[in-house]
């Protein structure tokens, strides 16, 4: 991660970065997790750490407000594996991140995730391999992208397991209560759905039944309730529609991102692409510091569940053609064109 990304996560008090890094404040002598509710410190007094141990080696104490030691070590481990699925990962490294002994890691990880860390990584690699293949890579390219050193063993592993999804990747909204509303908007019908943490889904379509089906496909284990017309969610839809059709300012709506660490990184990058700006998948991968991961980046874009607010429509093919769009190419064209003309006016 870059310093800018650290600062952004801290500013947003973004829980999804908890366990991924810590920051210390040298003037107060404490260190925090990114979501800490305390007042932000001056940049020059902040230091960043990957592990709790690194922070404590600098004689910093854990903050009492946010309890940085309290991050579930298994989540840190799973996040690390997702971020480094294409690399060699040692148990020692996982021990360093989580402060657990290798023996404990094996046992506890298996208990929570149903597989060992190694199997978890293999599952992620297979998934990356599969999506690279689906995106049109040839086999050797896909093998490379997924981080397999040589092509020999992959064929044994593919057998019967290629559809595996790691348990932690998406629990399908288990135990989650999701409110939603469906309205007409400038792009046809819109469904917006939210958990108590923020908006988790914005899709577009032509029929109500189709949109409802998509919501329950994405969150098969959640419970749903349709909200009242006067609800907050309803106001958010109005604000978003005003943004899409009248060029009103993009509403500041809290988002609840569900995806792998890599997907979330891709989506966060998309949110940094300005209105009126477009770039290619390749430029996106390069700017994210992953120039070789064009396919993986493109498929994470395609998995975006929060249309418009995560502006995946601003990414085009290398030749400038529109490429794909989850909600139809016409909607992509309309969005790009209206943003272009608005940014010219501004």
Residue closer to Zn ion (CB basis): 9 or 237: 9
CB neighbour class for 96 (10 Å; exposed up to 12, middle 13-18, buried from 19) = middle
Do residues 260 and 82 lie in contact, with contact meaning Cβ atoms separated by under 8 Å? yes
Binding flag, residue 66, Zn ion (CB under 5 A): yes
From the list 40-48, 51-59, 60-68, 70-78, the region that binds Zn ion by CB under 5 A is 60-68
Shortest spacing between CB 232 and Zn ion, in angstroms: 29
What is the crossing angle of helices 91-98 and 102-113, to 10°?
Answer: 80
Binding flag, residue 178, Zn ion (CB under 5 A): no
Shortest spacing between CB 31 and Zn ion, in angstroms: 8
Sole binder of Zn ion in the list 32, 97, 191, 211 (CB under 5 A): 32
Binding flag, residue 25, Zn ion (CB under 5 A): no
Per-residue DSSP letters for 176-244?
Answer: -EEEEEEEEETTEEEEEEEETTEEEEEEEES-HHHHHHHHHHHSTT-EEEEPPTTSHHHHHHHHHHHHH
Catalytic residue among 32, 36, 66, 200: 32
d(CA 212, CA 27): 52
Per-residue DSSP letters for 5-23?
Answer: HHHHHHHTT-GGGBTTBEE
32 tagged catalytic: yes
* Token pair in block for residue 256: 């609840």
Binding flag, residue 293, Zn ion (CB under 5 A): no
312 tagged catalytic: yes
The site that binds Zn ion (CB under 5 A) totals a number of residues, namely 6
Binding flag, residue 65, Zn ion (CB under 5 A): yes
Shortest spacing between CB 23 and Zn ion, in angstroms: 9
Sole binder of Zn ion in the list 36, 143, 310, 315 (CB under 5 A): 36
User: Which residues here bind Zn ion, judged by CB under 5 A?
Assistant: 32, 36, 38, 63, 65-66
Catalytic positions: 32, 312
């Amino acid at each position: 991660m870059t310093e800018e990304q650290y600062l952004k996560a801290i500013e947003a008090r973004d829980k999804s970065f908890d366990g991924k890094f810590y920051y210390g404040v040298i003037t107060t002598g404490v260190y925090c997790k990114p979501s800490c509710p305390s007042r932000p410190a001056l940049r020059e007094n902040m230091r960043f750490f990957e592990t709790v141990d690194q922070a404590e080696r600098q004689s910093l104490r854990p903050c009492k407000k946010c309890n940085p030691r309290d991050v579930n070590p298994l989540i840190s481990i799973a996040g690390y594996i997702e971020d480094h699925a294409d690399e060699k990962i040692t148990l020692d490294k996982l021990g360093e991140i989580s402060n657990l002994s290798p023996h404990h890691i094996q046992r506890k990880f298996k208990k929570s995730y149903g597989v060992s860390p190694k199997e978890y990584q293999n599952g992620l690699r297979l998934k990356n391999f599969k999506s690279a293949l689906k995106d049109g890579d040839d086999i050797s390219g896909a093998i490379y992208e997924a981080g397999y050193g040589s092509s020999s063993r992959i064929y044994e592993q593919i057998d019967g397991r290629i559809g595996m999804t790691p348990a932690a990747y998406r629990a399908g909204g288990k135990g989650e209560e999701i409110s939603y509303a469906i309205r007409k908007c400038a792009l046809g019908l819109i469904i917006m759905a939210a958990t108590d943490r923020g908006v988790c889904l914005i899709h577009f379509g032509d029929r109500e039944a189709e949109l409802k089906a998509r919501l329950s496909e994405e969150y098969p284990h959640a419970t749903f309730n349709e909200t009242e017309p006067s609800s907050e969610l309803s106001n958010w839809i109005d604000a978003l529609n005003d943004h899409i059709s009248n060029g009103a300012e993009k509403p500041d709506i809290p988002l609840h991102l569900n995806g792998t660490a890599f997907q979330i990184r891709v989506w966060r990058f998309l949110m940094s692409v300005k209105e009126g700006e477009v770039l290619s998948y390749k430029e996106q991968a390069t700017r994210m510091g992953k120039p070789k991961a064009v396919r993986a980046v493109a498929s994470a874009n395609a998995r975006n569940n929060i249309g418009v607010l995560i502006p995946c429509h601003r990414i085009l093919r290398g030749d400038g053609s529109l490429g794909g769009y989850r909600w139809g190419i016409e909607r992509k064209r309309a969005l790009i064109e209206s943003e272009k003309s608005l940014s010219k006016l501004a």
